[in-house]
Structure 1
Amino acid sequence: MSRPMDQIDNSSTKPLQTEHHGQMSSRRSQSDVRLENCESEARRDLPNSLTASQHGPVTLLRLSRPAKRNALDDATIAGIEFFFSDPPQQTRAIILHGEGKHFSAGADLSTVTDASAPVSVRRSQSWYRAFDGIENGRVPVVAVLHGGVIGGGLELAAAAHIRVAERSAFYALPESTRGIFVGGGGAVRIPRLIGTTRMIDMMLTGRTYSAEEGLSLGFSQYLVDDGHGLAKAIELAERIATNTVLSNFAIVQALPRIARSDPEGGFLLESLMAAITVGDDEAKERVNAFFEKRVAKVAHPSGESER
């Protein structure tokens, strides 16, 4: 069961770490992005299984339990909930990634095998709160996937708005082989990505999908070579951070709700969000800059023409 952060043993917590490097090059590989020698910010204690760092408007949260393949225990889930409930004020985008050979092997089964039904329900509810803070937080979240994205790790990844997969990534839902069921929101979020029948197939047969297959199915939106996932995520996050705060908020908050609503309700919510965003002072300045030709037009991906 999730515990409030002030109830977690202080010996297993550490402060948020920050770096100030200005703009980060998208050419750097994951191994080139250094998170050491960071300036501490003592007001944000996290469990040892999580490490946070600041890069201008982009905040990185790393799963730091590689010896356990970044398995998610109660302290880690509580830390995720705590972090996403109030990210650093300057944050315009968040990157979620994993240390070691795997993104996450899912729930730490050593903490769930002897749990009673009421305890298991409360544990699931703590996962729901934590992952809801990712999906419905105030800023967009980019997840970097490599190695195993398994069970609860896939449920965690599904809560992010953008997923960048390295070629080593693979996806699995082995809960049925353990005699258990998904309990971290996967039954709701994963079918939105790949469809209910594919999720049923994964759970009944133990089928796994490669990174290449995952790209076509919807597990990820981007596929890069091994070691380049974090650099790609930083490139995307920095691009996201240049959008207006209100526009990003509308995209991550309203768009999923519109997609799940009936058409009439969706049209109404869309019109309201359009009216709110266009009235934003920063949006007005950007539209004026476009009309005054102070910004470039949208170009074709090939660069051959403008629209």
Structure 2
Amino acid sequence: MAALVEIEQDGELLFVKLNRPQKRNAVNDALILALEAVFSDMPDGVKCAVLHSEGDHFSAGLDLSELQERDIIEGLHHSRMWHRVLDKIQFGKVPVVAVLKGACVGGGLEIASACHIRVAEASTFYALPEGQRGIFVGGGASVRLPKLIGMARMADMMFTGRTISAEEGVWMGFSQYVTMAGEGLEKGIELAKRIAQNAPMTNYALMHVLPRIADSSQSEGLLMESLMATIAQSSPEAKQRLTDFLEGRAKKVGQ
């Protein structure tokens, strides 16, 4: 398992690298469970993770060469395993910046969509080939992707087998940033360092509370917002940061 996912800590950042380039980082059970191990046991001192990949592709999706014949219950448990693992990325201890390149397809796109910020190099392309293979997504795409790009666009991809380029993807919502080839990791590190400087309570709220507000009714969402705002501004770190700003020791917006 360690060979499939390599980790390296550099101060407050944890680098998590998919390491199956000979298979275009296609995801088998061992790789997905290796990701679970990493995000279940985050090293002390880490404030942001950068998920990237070895080789020319982020991930070509589920490794169909290792696809087993499963009955209905086994298939259900397999899908729920993916849900469990990707929830640990989305709702884990630290924000995750994904650096994408080449294929970000099927299960690879499901992994990327569980991250909080996505940086795509110009070579990146997105697809959901499950529709052309007679199957349906099972790793969370039907829940996460419509929130990023809209239900109609996801349905189009599955109905037609459409492939989305990096440039299309940034305005559609697949990624927040696009870089030139070879510059994605540098941009990902820049963003991760900025995120690591935030107050932990703010990052927690963005990871755990904001998605639930978005899924709530207006009245429930507004109540959660009020509770989270009160908790966040009551923390000693928030009070110190506000004092620093008022007394001119903090950067102003745009600086």
One-letter amino acid matched to 1:172 = A
Matches within 5 A, 1:39-118: 47-118=2-73
TM-score relative to the length of structure 2: 0.97
Separation in 1, partners of 2:240, 2:229: 16
Q: Which residue number corresponds to residue 36 of structure 1?
A: none
Secondary structure of 1:95's match? Answer: strand
Match of 1:121 among 61, 69, 76: 76
Separation in 1, partners of 2:24, 2:250: 45
1:143 equivalent to 2:98? Answer yes
Separation in 2, partners of 1:191, 1:149: 16
Separation in 1, partners of 2:83, 2:37: 13
Match of 1:251 among 191, 196, 206: 206
- CA deviation vs aligned residue, 1:265-302 (integer Å, no higher than 9, x gap): 11111111111111111111111111111112112xxx
Separation in 1, partners of 2:76, 2:65: 17
Q: Could you say what the CA RMSD is over the residues aligned between the two structures, in angstroms? A: 1.0
Deviation at 1:113, TM superposition (A): 4.3
For the pair shown, which has the larger CA radius of gyration, 1 or 2? 1
Separation in 2, partners of 1:75, 1:296: 45
TM-score relative to the length of structure 1: 0.81
Normalized per residue, which structure has more helix? 2
Separation in 1, partners of 2:52, 2:105: 14
Q: Is the 8 A contact 1:150 1:171 kept in 2?
A: yes
- CA deviation vs aligned residue, 1:11-53 (integer Å, no higher than 9, x gap): xx4xxxxxxxxxxxxxxxxxxxxxxxxxxxxxxxxx3110001
Separation in 2, partners of 1:175, 1:296: 47
1:204 equivalent to 2:196? Answer no
Matches within 5 A, 1:1-307: 13=1, 47-299=2-254
One-letter amino acid matched to 1:262 = S
Unaligned runs of 5+ residues in structure 2 are none
One-letter amino acid matched to 2:144 = R
Give the total of aligned pairs. Answer: 255
Separation in 2, partners of 1:89, 1:246: 17
Deviation at 1:249, TM superposition (A): 0.6
Q: Percent identity?
A: 52
Q: Which residue number corresponds to residue 34 of structure 1?
A: none
Secondary structure of 1:247's match? Answer: helix
